[in-house]
């Protein structure tokens, strides 16, 4: 893969790629459902989450905190319980506590010695600022849905990355778990992509709608990505 030698910038999705969002989502939703005496499998909780999130993000832009409130409303309908007012913000409030995958921080620190690192995230500035404390590296630039008023798989994040970085697209590698949110729009604009096939409770593409697209590089985790790039 000689093209890897041309890479100078590595752009990352955050939640699902760097942050274990399945673990974070379940840590807040399972106790909440238990309080309402709702007993459903973790897989069903995640399926409900991804369905409602995708539907809300496909509508006109609204802050990610509002998207997460809408996801909670959707879950309450799916599992037939009455959501209390103070529970509406449960997902957004918990997001800063969602943990990085075990290999994330070490991999980012290693990659930062050679590449400029960039975040392309479907979240708000303030929410990501809390997550960034857990990632413990400096990013060249951070592009959020709040800034571009659009959610991936819309192309706005990727257009903005090209504008800010001002380098040929052949020098950028986009790294993400979600084929739907990230690889599809990135490939349409000529980005090379690396698919991080994180383990998931949901078979196939994990916590994202199913999409069929071929990444340029497939790795099981970020530690493996480091060995391919450095």
* Residue 175: φ, ψ to 5°: -115, 125
- How many Å apart are CA 220 and CA 222, to the nearest integer? 7
* Residue 137: φ, ψ to 5°: -140, 160
* Neighbour-count burial for 137-161, b at 16+ CB within 10 Å, e otherwise: eebebbbbbbebebbbbbbbbbebb
Q: What is the pLDDT of residue 207?
A: 59
Q: What is the pLDDT of residue 200?
A: 85
* Neighbour-count burial for 118-133, b at 16+ CB within 10 Å, e otherwise: bbbbbbbeebbeebbe
Go through the domains of the chain in sequence order and give each one's CATH number.
Answer: 2-20+99-229 (3.40.50.1000), 21-96 (1.10.150.750)
Q: What is the pLDDT of residue 211?
A: 76
Of 6, 13, 97, 182, the catalytic one is 13
Q: What is the pLDDT of residue 80?
A: 97
Among 17, 195, 30, 212, smallest CA distance to 104 is for 17
Measured distance between the N- and C-terminal CA atoms of the chain, rounded to whole angstroms: 13
- How many Å apart are CA 226 and CA 98, to the nearest integer? 23
From first to last of the 230 residues of the chain, give the pLDDT tens digit.
Answer: 778 889 999 999 999 999 999 999 999 999 999 999 999 999 999 999 999 999 999 999 999 999 999 999 999 999 999 999 999 999 999 999 999 999 999 999 999 999 999 999 999 999 999 999 999 999 999 999 999 999 999 999 999 999 999 999 999 999 999 998 999 999 999 999 999 999 888 766 565 667 788 999 999 999 999 999 99
Q: pTM here?
A: 0.94
- How many Å apart are CA 101 and CA 219, to the nearest integer? 14
Annotated catalytic residue 78: no
Instruction: Please tell me what DSSP assigns to residue 212.
Output: -
**Are 177 and 194 a contacting pair, CB within 8 Å?**
no
Q: What is the pLDDT of residue 205?
A: 54
- How many Å apart are CA 41 and CA 53, to the nearest integer? 19
- How many Å apart are CA 147 and CA 127, to the nearest integer? 13
């Amino acid at each position: 893969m000689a093209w890897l030698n041309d890479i100078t910038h590595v752009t990352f999705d955050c939640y699902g790629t760097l942050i274990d969002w399945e673990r974070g989502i379940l840590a807040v939703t399972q106790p909440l459902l238990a309080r309402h005496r709702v007993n459903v499998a973790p897989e069903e909780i995640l399926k409900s989450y991804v369905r409602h999130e995708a539907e809300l993000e496909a509508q006109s832009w609204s802050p990610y905190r509002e998207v997460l409130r809408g996801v909670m409303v959707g879950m309450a309908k799916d599992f037939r319980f009455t959501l209390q007012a103070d529970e509406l913000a449960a997902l957004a409030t918990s997001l800063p506590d969602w943990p990085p995958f075990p290999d994330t921080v070490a991999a980012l620190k290693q990659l930062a010695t050679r590449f400029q690192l960039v975040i392309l995230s479907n979240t708000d500035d303030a929410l990501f600022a809390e997550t960034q404390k857990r990632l413990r590296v400096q990013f060249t630039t951070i592009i959020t849905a709040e800034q571009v008023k659009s959610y991936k798989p819309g192309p706005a994040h990727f257009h903005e990355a090209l504008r800010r970085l001002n380098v040929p697209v052949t020098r950028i590698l986009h790294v993400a778990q979600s084929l739907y949110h990230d690889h599809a729009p990135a490939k349409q604009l000529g980005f090379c992509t690396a698919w991080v096939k994180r383990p998931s409770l949901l078979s196939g593409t994990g916590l994202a709608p199913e999409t069929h697209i071929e990444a340029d590089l497939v790795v099981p985790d970020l530690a493996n990505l480091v060995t391919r790039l450095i």
